[in-house]
Amino acid sequence: MRRILAGVFCFSLVFTIAFTWGYVKLAVPDRLNLVVSEEEIFHFTLPPGVTLESDSEEVVLGNASNIPAGKVRIQTTEPVSMYGASEGSYHLGMKLFGLIRMKDIQVDVVDGMYAAPCGVPVGIYLKSRGVMVVGTGEIVNDAGNVVEPAFGVLKSGDYIETVNGREMEDKDDLIQVVSASSGSPVSLEVRRDGELLKVELEPVLAEDGTYKLGAWVRDDTQGIGTVTYVDMNGSFGALGHGISDSDTGKLVDIRGGELYDTQIMGIEKGTSGKPGVMSGVIYYGKGTKLGEVTANTEEGIFGTVNRRFLERFQSEAIPVGFRQDVHKGQAFIRSDVSGEVRDYEIEIQKVDHTSLQKNKGMVIRVVDEELLKLTGGIVQGMSGSPIIQDGKLIGAVTHVFIQDSTKGYGIFIENMLEH
């Protein structure tokens, strides 16, 4: 019986440590922001046995006195208060039983941040870094046989970077190199999940007289989205989520991209089980460019706008609100869905500081009667619409609930500003 009890105790101890470790690693943010000389309240709770310790005297836990570093340990299920005495980057440590170091939290103490909320739709054009493989397919060769040369060699989501040492900027480059091979094997450098692989394929002479690898490829992506903010340096953030390939579902790895003028031609209202959508036209003509895209991430697309954008879409900068400033209740989203930029009332129904998905930190519901009449709630194309609460820019709309188009998710703006 003693051995059984000892085994149960050991198992329970290991399970508790593993669970606590997993909770702390995933649910507690890796990075927090404080406004200098202001006390901030953070609404994440600490599991039993976990303490939060300040590694720097400039970041004080639980009070506003200058207690030396490492002298304050907080273990509580209540919200945690922090105070930053001076600007800079500091660290907090989380320990289990005061002994085992479980997590380091970076604390950035900053002066008040400002950004201009936009809410304007733009055309987005992204160029992939290499030629992206959508999938493989069968080819009827010149003998009338069905073959699939790329099967098992190339996979959906691969990026072909070079063929026979030549860099692939677009699919036309790939077609030229394969055609010039006259059927001889070609050497490919392929990036798969961040790893660079070298493979060899033998092009097949198809029944139409051209050489092919049997791979469906794409080199660009385009669509319509909403610019969330422009900061004081002309940098922008948009969408609040990344742009994924429509066939593979994977985030598009880009070499660059542009923003262009767009005109919204119509809005299809959302219904239960079917999200609504904004349809429009992107103008790629001379003089329609609005900015450069430099990054496509899980938290949105980022880059810089040009003077034409700044002159056309003027908006006053407002303070940035960090996650600790966000609360349930009234807020507003800024959007141009009616043809002019205006604010529409929403209700923040849930604030999840421990969300494992950075772009789903808030649950919002549209309550503005005019917006409900116009769109039925949140529609595709509104992703990136800035969320404003208490006069601060706190986030952006990211997703719509499929079964209820009046509700959706939002991302904390600080997650976007990290880029």
Annotated catalytic residues are 241, 368, 383
Whole-number Å distance between alpha carbons of 118 and 229:
5
- The C-alpha angle with vertex 215 and arms to 213 and 217, in degrees rounded to 5, equals 125
Structure tokens at 73: 């340990």
Distance CA 126, CA 294 (A): 9
The three-point CA angle 365-369-372 to 5° equals 65
Q: Are 226 and 385 in contact (CB under 8 A)?
A: yes
Q: DSSP state, 418?
A: T
- What whole-number distance in Å separates Cα of residue 232 and Cα of residue 18? 44
**Cβ contact 139:147 at 8 Å:** yes
φ, ψ of residue 171 to 5 degrees: the values are -70, -20
What Å distances lie between residue 129 and 223, 232, 289, 295, 355, CA to CA?
18, 29, 21, 11, 30
* DSSP letter assigned to residue 340: S
Cα separation of 106 and 415, whole Å? 14
Q: Which amino acid is at 335?
A: S
304 closest CA partner among 348, 256, 370: 256
Q: Report DSSP letters for 254-301, one per residue.
A: EEEEEEE-EEEEEEEPPBTTB-EEEEEEE--STT-EEEEEEEEETTEE
Residue type, 249: G
Measured CA to CA in angstroms, residue 148 lies from 206, 215, 363 at distances of: 11, 9, 46
